[in-house]
Amino acid sequence: MAISTVPLHGGVLVSVTNDNDRDNLAPTLLVSYSDLSGIITTSSGHASELMFNGIPLSISVHTFIANINPSVTVMDFNNIYYTFDIIENNLSEDIVVSSDFNLASSPSPLTVTINGNRLSASKIDGRYYLNVSVTSILAQPSALVTMFNGMDMALGNEEELVINDTLLTLSDVDELIDINIGGAYLTAGRVGFKNYLIVKPLP
């Protein structure tokens, strides 16, 4: 896997990969899914939403130590990190992707720009979804970084962004909404009273 880094937010370097047919023009955000054994319930008093242009996006809070060492059972409330809560969209894209597709503009059917970084995206039924390349379904956080709205988030062993797979599906979504993250209009899904970022995992 060809990995490099981009300053995703506030100068924090996060890994991206070019290992797909979008090579050389629009890298894909590298992520890993958090270990649910370290999740803290919202009743703990920690934030459960992150605001983007007035729209609250669901986040989860995790104990840092419990994810590094699953044998640790005591919650350390002074050593935590937040993750975006996501829903996967595995539907087919609106266009057939090929390596010679012109991705030079943004947004295009295959790219968006977040805080000046052009990243690969998928356009499905006329909506944009951030593409992700999942390195692990059991993240091993190795560093805390301060990102969106001052939230402490985690990077994994390959400097990938750690996010939380809610295991919700598109069939659970009551409404699709636009959300502006770093200048890019992406898609979130409302489930009940909460909004979840929807991502497109690439193989």
* Tens digits of residue pLDDT in 92-134: 888 766 555 555 566 666 788 888 888 888 889 999 999 999 9
Domain that holds residue 185: 3-201
- pLDDT category at 22 given cuts 50, 70, 90 is low
Averaged pLDDT for residues 150-156: 88
Amino acid at 42: T
Number of domains the chain is built from: 1
Span 167-189, pLDDT tens digits: 999 999 999 999 998 888 999 99
Distance separating alpha carbons of residues 31 and 139, to the nearest angstrom: 9
Q: In 3D, which of 1, 67, 9 has the Cα closest to residue 202? A: 1
Per-residue 3-state assignment (H helix, E strand, C coil) for 58-106: EEEEEEHHHHHCCCCCCCCCCCEEEEEEEEECCCCCCCCCCCCCCCCCC
Give the pairing type, strands 3-9 and 127-136.
unpaired
CA angle 182, 51, 27 (to 5 degrees): 30
**Prediction pTM value:** 0.86
Residue 184 pLDDT: 87
